[in-house]
Chains A and B, each alone.
Chain A
Amino acid sequence: MPVVKAVTCPVCGSLCDDIELTIENGRIVKVKNGCAMCEAKFLGYCCEHRVLKPMIRKDGELVKTSLKEAIRRAAEILAEANYPVLYGWSNTSCEATSVGIELAEEVGGVIDNTSVVCHGPSILSIQDVGIPSCTLGQIRHRADLIVYWGSNPWSAHPRHIERYTSFSEGRFEKSAWRGYVTKIKALVGRKKIQSAIKRLVLKKPSQISTHLEPTFVSPIMRKGRKLIVIDVRRTKTAEMADFFVQVEPNKDYELLQAFRALIRDQELAVDKVAGVPVEYLEDVADAMVSCDFGALFFGLGLTMSGAKLRNIDAALSLVRDLNMRTKFIIMPMRGHFNVTGANTVSTWQTGYPYAVDFSLGYPRYNPGETSVVDVLLRKESDAALIVASDPVSNFPHKAAEHLAENPLIVIDPHMNVTAQMADVLIPSAFVGIEAAGTAYRMDHVPIPLKKVVNPPRGILPDEEILRRILAEIRKIKKKQEAA
């Protein structure tokens, strides 16, 4: 059985490129090195929910049609529209996004990618403040302090910790895995003892404190990589941390500013900030200042809550301040595997990373006005093209409602919720499994995606479908001009 090595996993922004796939009769039968999400994708992508034939809505029902007809209908919808939105792009290749932007320019629409509902605020803030960054390889080999703020890699980027941060074996920094195992063993031991005491000595369990705080050697004294987790919930990632700061919801901004004061050795005149005792924060600030190379990763917990982009301003400023004392970098934890690529390609071609409006014939960028959710909430769009994304299940109900009312073209391999609302549905090949392409990892390193198996018959990659739609639109326009 052929084994394909060094395959890139097309699921999350970590883009692990060490996956090994065993292929049998043109199907993937075994996945090595991947996490649960990776396995689910490679083994389950060809499932019953796959769309195999192009479809068009007729009398309220989706019915099968030919590819040619579907492309013609899609082109008609877009050519007729005054202000279409073209949305998605984070789960496809850079090459497809590139054609998508050309298409948006041709039809004078708004092209936006999923970063508008995830790290959009981060991008706005980075444009204002700037960002000290580096590659994940640097972090793997050199970082001795990792901070995850408002991000739970255990669930959203399962191998991030193992490949790039705390548990990775770097050239100059060793994995903290062993220390963690010891800690967990001790914790389990403690829990067992506590429950034994509960059972044997005290019959009333409510009288003893069940709050188990691991009391170990102060993490500051410990050698090796350290992990700080700041989150509103005690996530799985938090359990591994040397320091866990449980911030009250929507209070991240206060906490960030408190850290900024603390690392400048200023005194805080309060006992608690965001529900956390200042003494504890002082310890955490000490750990930040005393590291040699720190890396702060932030997730949607920071961009989506409370002050949104102002949180990111504060986080970027904190890292800038830290760089006066030591070396520190900061990076957003990008979700979809090629959302970074969507931003990058959009920036090359239009000058702007997302929310680009071509309705005046040249690119305009004004998130809050030209961003897709706002366009939909104002009910301005009159058609939509969705590529490799599921906005109906990801957008707030009000925005999704207008999207469903628009003539809707969906290009996606799966029958997702948006596809069920489509007026034209064109199935596509899975990029990274059935089609090759390029994707950008969260640290802006471009990584090739492989084609490991053939797509089902008659199914094309996103890029090709978009090219055909674009060609068809140009044909229609030429005819109109001639007439």
Chain B
Amino acid sequence: MGEKPKLRVTLLTGRTIEQGVGKEHGKSSKEYVESVSVCYMDPEDMKKLGVKDKTNIQVSTAFGSVVVKAQKSLRAPHPSVIFIPYGPWANVIVDPETHGIGMPSFKGIPATVEPAPEKPVLGLKELLELQFRKG
């Protein structure tokens, strides 16, 4: 097998209405987990990588790496820009550096995306256990 395809992108994180609604249902609800363990991608980028809608991808930055579900963005075109809603999955890979003003960088982080059909999207509990060994 050859090199797995990889795509260099810019990662944005932010709010979505699904996340907003899911969060009111409670942070351990299925709605919440499903609304924040996804990554919205430009359909053209998905084609380039050979990933289908609702399949797993691995997003990596200099700060970490996480498996989420790829989802076709309804807001395309935005080539090379990916979007993950705020939440525990996004936090694994955002930039903690606050540049002396107290705020980490949640938007505009260089990242790479690769298909990860064989890797599972971790549930909230597993994700937290892996990260914090508490809870």
Contact = CB atoms under 8 A, between A and B. Distances in A.
Contact of A397 (B24, B75, B124, B131): B131
B98 A368 contact: yes
B101 A120 contact: yes
Contacts of B26: 44, 47-50, 414-416
Contact of B20 (A49, A156, A301, A397): A156
Interface stretch (A138-146, A230-238, A263-271): A230-238
Interface stretch (A33-41, A100-108, A162-170, A276-284): A33-41
A225 interface: no
A417 B98 contact: no
Contacts of B108: 249-250, 304-306
A306 B108 CA distance: 7
Nearest to A398: B96
Contacts of A371: 98, 101-103
A444 B108 CA distance: 30
B19 to A, nearest CB: 8
B25 interface: yes
A393 B87 CA distance: 5
Contacts of B96: 373, 377, 396-399
B94 interface: yes
A135 interface: no
Given A44-B25, A156-B15, A397 B87 contact: no
Nearest to A391: B91
A399 B107 contact: no
A416 B124 CA distance: 11
Interface in A372-403: 372-374, 377, 390, 392-401
Interface in B4-59: 10, 12, 14-17, 20-21, 24-29
B13 to A, nearest CB: 8
A52 interface: no
Contacts, number: 183
B107 A301 contact: yes
A158 interface: yes
A304 B24 contact: no
B103 A120 contact: yes
The size class of the interface chain B forms with chain A is: 35 or more
Contacts of B88: 392-393, 417
B117 interface: no
B12 A47 contact: no
B99 to A, nearest CB: 7
B112 to A, nearest CB: 15
A396 B63 CA distance: 9
Contacts of A233: 12, 73, 75, 78, 81, 83
B104 A367 contact: no
Nearest to A416: B27
Interface string A400-423: 110010000000001111001100
A49 B25 CA distance: 8
A249 B28 contact: no
A300 interface: yes
Interface in A303-341: 303-306, 308-309, 335
Contacts of B93: 397
A152 B15 CA distance: 9
Contacts of B104: 117, 373, 395-396, 399
A45 interface: yes
A399 B96 CA distance: 7
B92 A397 contact: yes
Contact of A41 (B15, B24, B99): B24
Given A249-B10, A397-B96, A417-B135, 19 more contacts: A11-B20, A11-B24, A37-B17, A37-B24, A41-B24, A116-B103, A156-B15, A308-B99, A368-B99, A368-B100, A371-B98, A377-B98, A396-B94, A396-B95, A397-B94, A399-B96, A401-B132, A414-B26, A415-B27
